[in-house]
Structure 1
Amino acid sequence: MSTTAESPADPAQSRIIAQGVDEEASASNERGLMGWQYHLVFVACVVFTLFHLIVLNVAPLETWAFRIIHVAFGLAIGYAITSALSLHLFQPLTTLTPSQYTSLVAERVFLTVATVAGFLAFSAVLYAFFLRYGLDVKNPPNWLFQYYGYLLVTSALIAIVVPWVFRTRGHDIVWSDWLLILACMTVALYLLFNLKALQFRAGVMPTQADFWTALVGVLLILELTRRVAGLALVIISAIFIVYAFVGPYLPGFLYHSGYGMERFFTYLYTDNGILGATTAVSSTYIVLFIAFAAFLQASKVGDYFVNFAFAVAGKAQGGPAKVAVFASGLMGMINGTSAGNVVATGSLTIPLMKRVGYRPQSAAAIEAAASTGGQIMPPIMGAGAFIMAEVTGIPYTELIVAALIPALLYFLSIYFMVDLEARRSNMRPMSKDELPILAELIKQVYLFIPIIILIGALFMGYSVIRAGTLALASAVVVSWISPNKMGLRSMLGALNSAARMSIQLIAVCACAGIIVGVIGLTGVGLRFSSMLLQVAATSQLLALIFAMGISMLLGMGMPTTAAYAVAAAVVAPGLIQLGISPLIAHFFVFYYAVISAITPPVALAAYAGAAIAGSEPMRTSITAFKLGIAAFIIPFMFFYSPGLLMEDTWIVVARNVVTAVMGVFFLAAAVQGWFLGHANTLLRLLLLVAALCMISGDWITDVIGIVLAAIGWGLQRIAPKNPPAGQPS
């Protein structure tokens, strides 16, 4: 990825730092398709995005049908663009040894069997459609689907297993993946053909064909999730699936009576599971807002955001770190994942942080902590706000208003952390000649118009779908007066990018739907709520700490969307039963699901930053955890002070904000060991206690915290001369 510009003749442009930060980094198993395959997938991606935009705005479809097509179409594109194995390991064979030749023959035999089976299963469904709509035969003969299920599952299983057994990989779409694409189409067509009947019999009295179709659908979702999001979510989903069958043998609140295979898997493929709330969000809000982000990227808004951040904050001491905080907040509005945000902005900010004196470990951790905050920054908040609106029924506009103060507190805490570290280490600011010219960038401030239109439309009462569509259209119009005008080719490219960027979240949401389905079917969520009530009978604070731990544990190694969806199903209902309002309960688990991205031992955002900085991943994750420690306290702050979520009078809200800002500053000073100057251990403990006193919105604790901080200030004023700058504590 290019991060520095060539030296153009225009002196104003010569100081543009960021270029290409919008570009999506390719995963190690993402194919670089060429020729007819590239064009075929390009057309499929454009059609996929246009299909969603048309259905959402012009020609609505029946809900189940829309979600079935959404999942199947997304899976098919996912199998086309991702390989089962890392392409970095691919070495083309020039000659074959006897053992390799035998392996190749065996692979082709298996794939031939899978092709015949898959084609026959697909043909059975097509023939059923022909009978119904061509010959007006409402119900196909019984023999048509007698062996359909066995054929479908045989083809899908072979196609999933063959790449692992025979190490099949390549930059073109391989034979096994074509079979998986065919299986996606077969599953979708069968479900659509039997749609009305399935809405009554799925999970209750399913047929054998229903069962095999649902089973293959679940396997296809799990395999693509493994390819695009890693094993963590797949393993957790597998544990929940196993739990559905071993429940009768488990003790305590984990016990349930158990379920048959047919009932269980067909139940999962209903609106109680895969086609439920998580897929409802991915098929509407996620695709729409990723398309919005893709159009912003096509007009290079991300570059503008980062350059704007450099122009505003680059001159400060430790400027690149402050730019990382500012830019990551802006990029978080158009980027769907914490790790993706790290890669987008970190490829530029991390090297610059290292240049002005930050250790590689600190540079990566700062970017990871700041980028994770992008997931809690309104108005888009990753995809979590959309799922929250879907699950709770709270209007989206209320959610983004409630999210504003906690998000600003989080970014303020990161800012205080990097500022105090810069002062402690006496880091140099960037020079004027190294930075973009703010006056020139202000001339392009109109690039913020699409986001202003989005927010304005929402608060004018437009639906989220309509507001997002207006913002998307405005991004095109605004580009026409910018240096990066969007023509037909650019718009088609944006539609293509939107589909490709959506695939991970589509797979993750469908996979999260599996977990949500198991939780609903087995009732384990309700039993967990009862257990939380028992803990709360001893101590409400202990119950909150327990809920925090479970939310972070469920989120480790998982994308934010899935982490929150699972935590919302397991933990949030228990908090609501404690008498906590749904808004506070869901924000509480949402925060901990988000910051699992910087929580050791599985801190995906920190690991992405470490890869760019060349630092040790585990140490980087520990540093990111330290920098983002305010995020572990903020949910307790808005629990005890609902004013931080705008849930009180303006006077109370203002007082809560002031004391919360003081609290996060004291916390940053305690963690970094720098207040007015070097802070010794006693002063750090004093500041930590002062910060903790600010958690409660009570006047007494606030006054105690302020008095303790004042004592610390006095002690530092009369203390001996500070040690030389640059000597960390």
Structure 2
Amino acid sequence: MKKPQDTAIRTRVDPTLSVIEQETAKANVDEEALTSNQRDLQGKRNMVVAVLCVAYSVFHLLVMNVYPLETWAYRLSHVGGGLFLGFLLFGATALSGSTAQNTRNPLSLGLLALSAAGILYAAVAVGAIWINGRVMGNALPPAWAMSTFGIPLVLGSVLAVLHGWFFPQRDRRQFALADILLAVAAVVATAYLIFFARQLQLRAGMPMALPGDMWAAVTGVILIIELTRRLAGMALVIIAGVFVAYAFLGPWLPGIFEHRGYDAKRFFSYIYTDNGILGAPIAISSTYIILFVIFAAFLQTTRVGEYFVNLAFAAAGHKRGGPAKVAIFASGLMGMINGTSAGNVVATGSLTIPMMKRVGYKPQTAASVEAAASTGGQIMPPIMGAGAFIMAEITGISYMAIVSAAIIPAALYFISVYFMIDLAAQKANLKGLPRDQLPKFGVLVRQIYLLTPIIVLISALFAGYSVIRCGTLAMMTAAVVSWLTPHKMGPKQLFHALDNGARMVLQLVAVCATAGIIVGVIALTGIGSRFSTVLLTLADQSQLLALFFAMVVSIVLGMGMPTTAAYAVAASVIAPGVVNLGVEPLIAHLFIFYFAVMSAITPPVALAAYAGSALAGSDPVKTSVESFKIGLAAFVVPYMFFYSPAMLLQGSWIEIIHIAITAVIGVYLLSCAVQGWLVGHASAAVRALVLVAGLFMIAGGWMTDAIGLGLAILLVVYQKRGAASNATT
């Protein structure tokens, strides 16, 4: 490992000067220290895990590009491999949040012994099934193996999970035995399901499902829930638990929640198919998400990604509030690729947040800006943090239609964030960084070839190539472009990128699988259609009221959940009712998607804001409130494209240009109202009138635009006269 002093003097993509270099060096040292603690980069343990992670990444790239695998087996391998690596990499935390306890007391040893006995017996039984069929060529598996492996596997897995809750291992330099057992259980359950894949597909959820099918599926569900708890917290786990309980408690529930109920065999054999866990979220996770996460790992490893930040600093770092404006560009671009708002805050905020604090931003403001920008990356075409792919899978609308429609709304969001930052900088009289402490723009322009991976990606997408081919080409381009820099990608760097890509995707694998459980329950019980019926009744045929309910439900469901899971669940519950009211499917799904994304900066549970507050050392609640204010336009834009489909490029060019211009003016006025600044400090009355003018401008009609623009002009004149009179006196 490099010594910190070596890191501190290391040059970057060229030629950054002292301040940027210092902050980057600090970020690199912090990152190395963090990975040292979490991954234990020294010793045999890390090498074993790294090789397994690289194998996981290579497996996916080969299947997607070279050797296609049967869909069922591929998705199962994706989930099972993710579980296997997840338990080896991420140790259990105590359920109570207490510190690690003595793992050598009798209760701990007893749990481990019973768990090991159950899981290892199941492993032997499933091995016998495989050998009997594949090696011996027998049509029927051994009866003893089929009838006895299930209960020991489930009990062993449960005991290993409980051991992790109450006896988490303090020292992560070695594998915890309980985690090894859970990893083995993941392999056993997945191997059984793959071996009997076609039969299970045919009998899933039906009376002919075998007991072994159920026990393997139960084990898989337990492992998915536990890994989600470790990687994404309790919010999604609790929601999934409520839905699973609902599947069994239906006969005793009132009103629309009542259903006939399902026995365990039918439920679990149904939920572990493409109707549930292996459905749309995992379909996207196993293709587009993992592809672009590995692409993001390539950009990080080659440091091509740092060029984006350097270029932004060179272009805007000297302007008022410059580092905050840099965060918009850098975080929005990287957030578009990596698929998780909170993760992107950690990745880019380690550089942008200290720089914002350096020029005078309060810690909570710096964290809020980073959270708002990173969250906005999820709505930025052409990747939209994998949202476009999931939406295409769910709706059947073409990918190109979705990303094209999202261009103007996404641009409006980032323009509004820029306005918020610029107005706040004016109000606080914040300056930028001195030019002599910034990268030289002229030199960076000569390195513009480092943008080639993004240019190749976007060009290939719009040229009509498949998304997988486009992502692969962009990945290869990043590697080739790195050969023109001091950080040329060789075998060692390639190994690290593939390793890091697998590690980065594990949370999304767990989250997407858990979202699949929820979606499967919705499909099995029919609660989605009944909820939509209630929505229609409450809305009383009012599309606006239905959209308001959809907004509330999307935000509530999304709190504490990553974007992909939040949208998948919200779309299953709400979208059918909104579409039945006559709202176009594209508008309905984009509307729901935007609010599911914005839940990451919506109090009281705002994951992106919390991640930023941890980096900035600010109060999480105050940070979430401020990030909500900065991203306020995102809560208005969906209503704008509902009233004005031209914003989604549906209409003539005159209509599209008209709505785009007036919407920009509208969000500027809204930003002025929020920040209390129009030419100068704005009184409460002026802020209220500016808000009214902004709302008129975003309505989309010529008359409302004229009223809003006229009112805005009058307010500007009034403010200028007030400023002039104050200056005279």
What range is the shorter-chain TM-score in? over 0.9
Corresponding residue to 2:24 among 7, 13, 19: 19
Structure 2 residue 480 is the aligned partner of structure 1 residue 490: no
Evaluate the alpha carbon distance shift between residue 379 and residue 497 of structure 1 in structure 2; reply closer, same or farther with a 3 A threshold.
same
CA distance in 1, matches of 2:12, 2:273: 60
Structure 2 residue 48 is the aligned partner of structure 1 residue 36: no
CA contact (8 A) 1:320 1:353 kept: yes
Match of 2:619 in 1: 616
Corresponding residue to 2:414 among 406, 411, 414: 411
Write the deviation string for residues 277-304 of structure 1: whole angstroms up to 9, x where unpaired.
1110011111111111111111102211
Match of 1:96 in 2: none
CA distance in 1, matches of 2:366, 2:136: 67
Secondary structure of the equivalent of 2:531? helix
5 Å-filtered alignment, 1:672-683, equals 672-683=675-686
Write the deviation string for residues 499-531 of structure 1: whole angstroms up to 9, x where unpaired.
111101111110100000001011111112112
Match of 1:216 in 2: 219
Match of 1:131 in 2: 132
Structure 2 residue 281 is the aligned partner of structure 1 residue 273: no
CA distance in 1, matches of 2:363, 2:391: 36
Worse overlay, 381-390 or 150-159: 381-390
Write the deviation string for residues 284-327 of structure 1: whole angstroms up to 9, x where unpaired.
11111111111111110221111111111111111111111122
Secondary structure of the equivalent of 1:701? helix
CA contact (8 A) 1:636 1:695 kept: no
Evaluate the alpha carbon distance shift between residue 182 and residue 4 of structure 1 in structure 2; reply closer, same or farther with a 3 A threshold.
closer
CA distance in 2, matches of 1:352, 1:684: 31
Corresponding residue to 1:471 among 454, 458, 474: 474
Secondary structure of the equivalent of 1:203? coil
CA distance in 2, matches of 1:618, 1:596: 14
Write the deviation string for residues 104-159 of structure 1: whole angstroms up to 9, x where unpaired.
23212221221121111011111111111221111113222222111101110111
Structure 2 residue 180 is the aligned partner of structure 1 residue 175: no
What code does the residue aligned with 1:50 have?
V
- Give aligned-pair identity as a percent: 54
Structure 2 residue 87 is the aligned partner of structure 1 residue 73: no
5 Å-filtered alignment, 1:699-714, equals 699-714=702-717
Evaluate the alpha carbon distance shift between residue 650 and residue 572 of structure 1 in structure 2; reply closer, same or farther with a 3 A threshold.
same
CA distance in 1, matches of 2:193, 2:465: 33
CA distance in 2, matches of 1:401, 1:235: 36
CA contact (8 A) 1:132 1:140 kept: yes
What code does the residue aligned with 1:19 have?
T
Alpha-carbon offset, residue 4 of structure 1 = 9.3
Secondary structure of the equivalent of 1:551? helix
CA distance in 2, matches of 1:10, 1:145: 58
Worse overlay, 74-83 or 382-391: 382-391
Evaluate the alpha carbon distance shift between residue 14 and residue 286 of structure 1 in structure 2; reply closer, same or farther with a 3 A threshold.
same
Evaluate the alpha carbon distance shift between residue 92 and residue 650 of structure 1 in structure 2; reply closer, same or farther with a 3 A threshold.
closer
CA distance in 1, matches of 2:482, 2:188: 41
Evaluate the alpha carbon distance shift between residue 128 and residue 199 of structure 1 in structure 2; reply closer, same or farther with a 3 A threshold.
same
Worse overlay, 358-367 or 217-226: 358-367
CA distance in 2, matches of 1:699, 1:506: 47
Match of 1:146 in 2: 147
Match of 1:505 in 2: 508
Write the deviation string for residues 620-648 of structure 1: whole angstroms up to 9, x where unpaired.
11111111111100100111111111122
5 Å-filtered alignment, 1:39-438, equals 39-85=47-93, 104-171=105-172, 172-205=174-207, 206-438=209-441
Secondary structure of the equivalent of 2:680? coil
CA distance in 1, matches of 2:535, 2:36: 42
CA distance in 1, matches of 2:723, 2:17: 47
Alpha-carbon offset, residue 713 of structure 1 = 1.6
Evaluate the alpha carbon distance shift between residue 581 and residue 27 of structure 1 in structure 2; reply closer, same or farther with a 3 A threshold.
farther
What code does the residue aligned with 2:221 have?
V
CA distance in 1, matches of 2:573, 2:539: 16
- TM-score when scaled to structure 1? 0.94
Worse overlay, 270-279 or 295-304: 295-304
CA distance in 2, matches of 1:397, 1:3: 46
Alpha-carbon offset, residue 2 of structure 1 = 10
CA distance in 1, matches of 2:509, 2:184: 18
Secondary structure of the equivalent of 2:40? coil
Write the deviation string for residues 398-431 of structure 1: whole angstroms up to 9, x where unpaired.
2222211111111111110111111111112211
What code does the residue aligned with 2:470 have?
A
Alpha-carbon offset, residue 212 of structure 1 = 1.1
5 Å-filtered alignment, 1:683-722, equals 683-719=686-722
Structure 1 consecutive aligned stretches of length 4 or more whose deviation exceeds 6 Å: 1-4, 7-11, 89-93
CA contact (8 A) 2:308 2:330 kept: yes
CA distance in 2, matches of 1:251, 1:506: 35
CA distance in 2, matches of 1:489, 1:7: 18
Alpha-carbon offset, residue 695 of structure 1 = 2.8
- TM-score when scaled to structure 2? 0.94
Match of 1:599 in 2: 602
Alpha-carbon offset, residue 538 of structure 1 = 5.4
Evaluate the alpha carbon distance shift between residue 13 and residue 416 of structure 1 in structure 2; reply closer, same or farther with a 3 A threshold.
closer
CA contact (8 A) 2:364 2:619 kept: yes
What code does the residue aligned with 2:201 have?
Q
What code does the residue aligned with 2:162 have?
V
Worse overlay, 139-148 or 299-308: 139-148
Write the deviation string for residues 145-194 of structure 1: whole angstroms up to 9, x where unpaired.
22211110111011100122234343121000110011001011111121
CA distance in 1, matches of 2:6, 2:538: 52
CA contact (8 A) 1:413 1:668 kept: yes
Write the deviation string for residues 524-553 of structure 1: whole angstroms up to 9, x where unpaired.
111121122223325322221111000000
Gaps spanning 5+ residues in structure 1: where?
Answer: 94-99, 725-729
Alpha-carbon offset, residue 722 of structure 1 = 8.0
What code does the residue aligned with 1:571 have?
I
Match of 1:97 in 2: none
Structure 2 residue 552 is the aligned partner of structure 1 residue 544: no
What code does the residue aligned with 1:226 have?
R
CA contact (8 A) 2:461 2:467 kept: yes
Evaluate the alpha carbon distance shift between residue 5 and residue 445 of structure 1 in structure 2; reply closer, same or farther with a 3 A threshold.
farther
CA contact (8 A) 2:599 2:606 kept: yes
What code does the residue aligned with 1:465 have?
I
Gaps spanning 5+ residues in structure 2: where?
Answer: none
Evaluate the alpha carbon distance shift between residue 68 and residue 273 of structure 1 in structure 2; reply closer, same or farther with a 3 A threshold.
same
CA contact (8 A) 2:387 2:564 kept: yes
Write the deviation string for residues 48-104 of structure 1: whole angstroms up to 9, x where unpaired.
1111111111111111111011100011001111011189x99899xxxxxx58x62
What code does the residue aligned with 2:601 have?
I
What code does the residue aligned with 2:303 have?
K
What code does the residue aligned with 1:125 have?
V
CA distance in 1, matches of 2:11, 2:350: 22
Alpha-carbon offset, residue 583 of structure 1 = 1.2
Evaluate the alpha carbon distance shift between residue 335 and residue 141 of structure 1 in structure 2; reply closer, same or farther with a 3 A threshold.
closer
Evaluate the alpha carbon distance shift between residue 371 and residue 202 of structure 1 in structure 2; reply closer, same or farther with a 3 A threshold.
same
Worse overlay, 598-607 or 439-448: 439-448
Alpha-carbon offset, residue 352 of structure 1 = 2.2
Alpha-carbon offset, residue 444 of structure 1 = 1.5
5 Å-filtered alignment, 1:541-690, equals 541-690=544-693
Alpha-carbon offset, residue 723 of structure 1 = 7.4
CA distance in 2, matches of 1:86, 1:251: 36
Evaluate the alpha carbon distance shift between residue 652 and residue 9 of structure 1 in structure 2; reply closer, same or farther with a 3 A threshold.
closer
Alpha-carbon offset, residue 703 of structure 1 = 1.6
CA contact (8 A) 1:3 1:347 kept: no
